[in-house]
Amino acid sequence: MKKMNKHIFTLSALTILTACGGSNQSEQPDSIVVNPITPPVSISPKLVVTQGMITGFGSIYVDGIKYNTDTSNIKKNGLNTQLNALSVGMKISFSAQENDSGEWVAQDVEYDTEVEGVIQSIDRNNSQITIANTVIFYNDLTHFIDTSEALISVGQRVEISGYPQADGTFLASYIELDTDTDNDDYEYTAGIVSNLDETALQFTINDVVIDYRLAEIDGVLANNSYVKVEGNLVDGVMVANEVDARTVKESLDVDDDSVLRYEIEGLITQISATSIGVNGQVFDYANNVEVEGVALNNLTVGMFVELYIDNSQIIKVESKQSSYSSDGKVKGVIESIDRDNKTITVNGVLYVFNEFSRFEDDDEQYFSFDTLNINDYVEIAYLQTSPLLSVLKIEKEDQDEYQQEWEMKGQITAISNNTITVNGAEIVLDANAKYIINDVLVSLTTFIEQLVVGDRVDVEGLYDINNVFVLGKVELENKSDDGDDDGGDAGDDDNGGDDNKVGYVELEGTVTELLTANSFMLNGYEVQLSENAELEVNDQDVNLATFMSALTVGAAIEVEGQWVENKYILADEAELK
């Protein structure tokens, strides 16, 4: 079976079209009411066809609702499989039916990878990677399997599930290191069609030109529709051998008469007074459309929503923005657990769980609140709610994972000399770390002078072999000239600083051209090494001459530095992989 079969829409379930975007986050509510989920009422044996993200197991949980999978037909990338092949964060499509006991039973469950290939470049400062010339954003809610934000590297092959946005980028809900030794040499991308030229037999998705002259087409190509493409990049053009352009109805293995409704979640990719496009599928409003969590006239492109569709019309729009963004992130050790009230304490701060909380553990699929223990190492992404912070995602880590990568995001609650308190943890600011304000590298003294309680910071570091925490970087965002924090969100930094050629830079990619004795081209940008740059080759410190002599076109390299006059990056650190 050709590998495209693991990416195209099969007829067993509704395969919804999704991908990624930057951080278009709206203001979060002040409070959250934790109530048990009441499954939707069904008075007929008709199916509800759903597309959503896995949030837990036992059997399977999507959007806080349990679906029994004891008798389900499960497919992964077009092949029959078992439930243990699925993971939290995967976007799945499935049909389900309510039984006489009020239990929802999944009939067909399907997962399809949407983007797959070798990582071409990484922009760590803006939380994005590039695969098959497709820009993929990740954030605090992205689930990494067999890799992490710190460990992903140029040259690795990964599989991605996520949501498309109108600008052609993806927001990844799931990134897995692809260790399959039987992989073909194809790359895979997906997105919304534009610039369709039926004479030249080309179109564009994600700013990638697709040449489909030799491709097998499944479905009907049209602008603003969602497609998946298998092929190879040749001089920047994706030469396709297969294109899947089937619509939602064409992707079903059920009769229209047997479907009660469709439930589709994703990012709004287009909107008008009478319709919404989500994941490249456009639907008209019903006359009596219901809207929950946001006013109808406040819906905008980039918002994360769930659509309820009946007879090809939207009967309900529900805002799901909190499923798409977080207010902060913390790592620590569980100090106490309240089983009755479903709370835990980490670094002296209390966090509450609800039906939407996601549980991630690469080694334990059935990880849940009930399996948490005191002294567990955990990483939490949370929502700022009152009176307690609400857990959006919790990931259990082993000691090595806990020590090797350490990141915290949140508000400063106390400042004492060179020590700040964030999410209950005390962070000592020292001269060896990097300090950034509004994407500009500053001195420790300047950084401390600007800090006030209530500022939001992003802290990065790790534990050394002696179990001593080593601070690497602290970033202060959205700081206005008068010293006040002008709010913003606590999500990842998607400010597009590199596109604007301003501010601090962390890039990884391959060298495309050697320019001078201290400069080269990386990811389309000129990089100049500063006179006192810290340089490494194979983890060994070297001088400038040795570093440049080891540098070749095609070499993988990581640099940190600052844009100068919007012209070039002046790197103060560079590492040849």
pLDDT for 480 equals 60
Residues of the chain with CATH 2.40.50.140: 497-576
CA-closest candidate to residue 314, choices 251, 272, 356? 272
CB atoms within 10 A of CB 555: 17
Query: What is the architecture of the domain spanning 497-576?
Result: Beta Barrel (2.40)
Look at residue 266 and give its three-state secondary structure. strand
Instruction: List alpha helices for 251-318, DSSP H.
Output: none
pLDDT, residue 382, reads 96
The predicted pLDDT at position 14 comes to: 37
Structure tokens at 81: 């499989």
Residue 248: per-residue pLDDT: 56
Beta strand ranges found along 320-376 (DSSP E): 328-338, 343-346, 349-352, 358-360
Nearest Cα to 265, choosing from 49, 98, 7, 22?
A: 49
- Cα end-to-end span (Å), the chain: 36
Distance CA 505, CA 486 (A): 23
Instruction: Select from 3.30.70.1170, 3.40.640.10, 3.40.50.12280, 2.40.50.320 the CATH code of 326-404.
Output: 2.40.50.320
Which residues sit opposite 94 in a β-bridge? Answer: 50, 109
Q: Which CATH number, 3.30.70.1430, 2.40.50.320, 3.90.78.10, 2.30.30.60, labels domain 117-133+145-158+177-245?
A: 2.40.50.320
d(CA 511, CA 527): 10
The answer to whether 67 and 13 are in contact (CB under 8 A) is no
Contacts of 487 (CB under 8 A, 6+ apart): 478
The answer to whether the CB of 161 falls within 8 A of the CB of 90 is: yes
- CA-nearest of 100, 82, 78 to 12 is 78
What does the alpha-carbon distance between residue 498 and residue 233 come to, in Å, rounded to a whole number? 24
Instruction: Encode the chain (577 residues) as per-residue pLDDT tens digits.
Output: 344 544 333 333 333 333 333 444 444 444 444 445 555 444 446 899 999 999 999 889 998 899 999 999 999 988 899 999 999 999 998 999 998 888 999 988 989 889 999 999 999 989 999 999 999 999 999 999 999 888 899 999 999 999 988 888 899 999 999 987 676 789 999 988 999 999 999 999 878 999 999 999 988 899 888 888 999 999 989 999 999 887 655 654 667 778 899 999 999 988 999 999 998 788 999 999 999 999 999 999 999 999 999 988 999 999 987 777 899 999 999 999 999 999 999 999 999 999 889 999 877 888 899 999 999 999 999 999 989 999 999 999 888 888 877 889 999 999 998 999 999 999 999 999 999 998 889 999 999 999 999 999 999 998 777 777 889 999 997 666 544 444 334 334 444 445 678 889 999 999 999 999 999 999 889 999 999 999 999 989 999 999 999 999 999 999 999 999 989 999 999 999 8
- Which ranges in the chain are annotated with CATH 2.40.50.320? 117-133+145-158+177-245, 326-404
Nearest 10 degrees: CA dihedral of 177, 179, 185, 190? -30
CATH number of 405-493: 2.40.50
pLDDT at residue 499, as a whole number? 62
Judge whether 327 and 383 are in contact, CB under 8 Å.
yes
